[in-house]
Amino acid sequence: MRIGIDASRAFQKNRTGIEEYSYQVIKNLMNKLNKHEVILYLRKNQTVNFKLPDNWKIKIIRFPYLWTQLGLSLEMLLRPIDVLFIPAHTVPIISSGNTIVTIHGLEYEFVPTAYSFWERVYMRWSIKNSCRWARTIIAVSENTKKDLINLYKVPKEKIKVIYEGYDKQNFEFRISNFESNPNEKILKPYLLFIGRIEARKNVGGILKSYKILVEKYTIPHTLVLAGIPGYGYDIIKLKIQNYLKIKNLKLKIIELGYVNDAQKWQLLSGAEVFLFPTLYEGFGLPILEAQSVGAPVVAGDNSSIREISTNYESDTNIRITNEKNLSFRADPERAKRVEGVVEESDLKISSRSLHFGRDDKCSVLLVNPNNADQIADAANKLISDKELRNDIIKRGYENVKRFSWEKCGKQIARVLLS
């Protein structure tokens, strides 16, 4: 069997979420497709940074524009293959009838203001058609599967849920080979966000909650933001500049830009709290990365977050409550669309008490991401309550055991060969 893999995202210089997924999946497929010819399709000037098995080949497609729809389509027309795997959303117009595609989420449908008009148009066209043209769709979470079924009417039997992974051994190698701080100006303690600095990641809400933490709780922490700029960054940058100008308020905000793997792990391992109150996620890989090194997490109660951070083998769940405020209810329309994965639920908010519910078993503090007071209260609890902090860290360690790139690769190989 001849298997083709779109590797154009896997070997980009600065990998983020989808690029990291493509990279890790390809690495973990290498020892699972030994009896088949595998072809990696790359753009010009891209190189593979690890040794490939003898049965794996590289094909450079030299198209400067519309690489997938023109370049890869032409390659499929001239040199057909038996199976084509697309790790990142976009299936070419001309492809194998046996095409497998991974869909990472429909965030643009739920948070449209966090994307430009043309981004929304392109992604909607691309993903809808990819779902039509592919034989099998890999969804990275049950929540993404539900979104595909309810919004795009994709037949459920066409979708296979395969979680993303985390590689503990890979982390240990990276951290042992990292010799210096990513930024000498960073002094502990600090709060951390790693991801694209953009509207959908709710960086504006993180900034507002940090201001509350300094004003209300007088914490000495620095806020560290690590990631490349995304949509809405101009507004975020202006907000940072205005906050730093506030007199009589010692706000310490550091932007690092893109950080490499070693720097990322170093930052995560030193963070007192990892802030991830994003507005919508297809999976939520940064949660697992933070938990794996003992960083307690505050995360938004939406999309796939509860699913990814809930270990149903544990026996308690932590939720934040506040007797003063009205309970927050998830958007009922959204709840209908995802048919129970994002259920309509009460999330009571409080700075005075935490309730340990028994309805589910979550390893992060879940908050309404649109309420900066909740985010601040949750972060402060993790800073000030040592017992709670240790419990959340322990749960995080248990939660990440459910995920691995090895398991992810094994399940994808099974789909490719079926």
Residue 189: is the preceding peptide bond cis (ω within 30°)? Answer: yes
Give the list of residues 6+ apart from residue 10 with CB closer than 8 angstroms, or none. Answer: 19, 22, 23, 25, 26, 87
> What confidence tens digit (pLDDT) does each residue in 245-302 have?
888 888 999 999 999 888 999 999 999 999 999 999 999 999 999 999 999 999 999 9
Question: What is the count of structural domains for the chain?
Answer: 2
Q: Is 322 found in the same domain as 246?
A: yes
SS3 at position 391: helix
Do 176 and 307 sit in the same domain of this protein? yes
Same domain, 361 and 273: yes
Judge whether 228 and 260 are in contact, CB under 8 Å. Answer: no
**How large is the average pLDDT for residues 324-346?**
33
299 plus 202 within the same structural domain: yes
Q: What is the pLDDT of residue 181?
A: 53
- pLDDT (0 to 100) of residue 331: 38
Average pLDDT, the chain: 84
Q: Which residues pair with 102 in a beta bridge?
A: 138
- Whether residues 142 and 173 fall in one domain: no
Q: Is the Cβ–Cβ distance between 406 and 27 less than 8 Å?
A: no
| pLDDT at residue 13, rounded to an integer | 76
Domain shared by 409 and 390, yes or no? no
Copy the structure tokens of residue 387: 């017992």
Q: Which residue has the higher pLDDT, 221 or 175?
A: 221
Neighbours of 64 (CB within 10 A): 9
**Interval 333-357 mean pLDDT:** 33
176 with 106, same domain: the answer is no
Can you tell me the distance from the alpha carbon of 131 to that of 148, in angstroms, rounded to the nearest whole number? 9
Which range has the worst mean pLDDT, 84-88, 147-151, 196-200, 334-338?
334-338
Are residues 396 and 372 located together in one domain of the fold? yes
Q: Are 180 and 139 in the same domain?
A: no
299 lies in the same domain as 266: yes
User: Higher pLDDT residue, 186 or 289?
Assistant: 289
Q: How large is the average pLDDT for residues 111-130?
A: 94
pLDDT by residue (tens digit) across 296-328?
Answer: 999 999 999 999 999 765 444 444 434 333 222
Position with higher pLDDT, 2 vs 173? 2
Same domain, 151 and 202: no
* CATH number reported for the structural domain that contains residue 96 in this entry: 3.40.50.2000
Considering the domain architecture, whether residues 53 and 148 belong to the same structural domain is answered as: yes
pLDDT exceeds cutoff 80 at 357: no
With 80 as the cut, is the pLDDT of residue 354 above it?
Answer: no
Q: Which domain holds residue 62?
A: 2-165+404-417
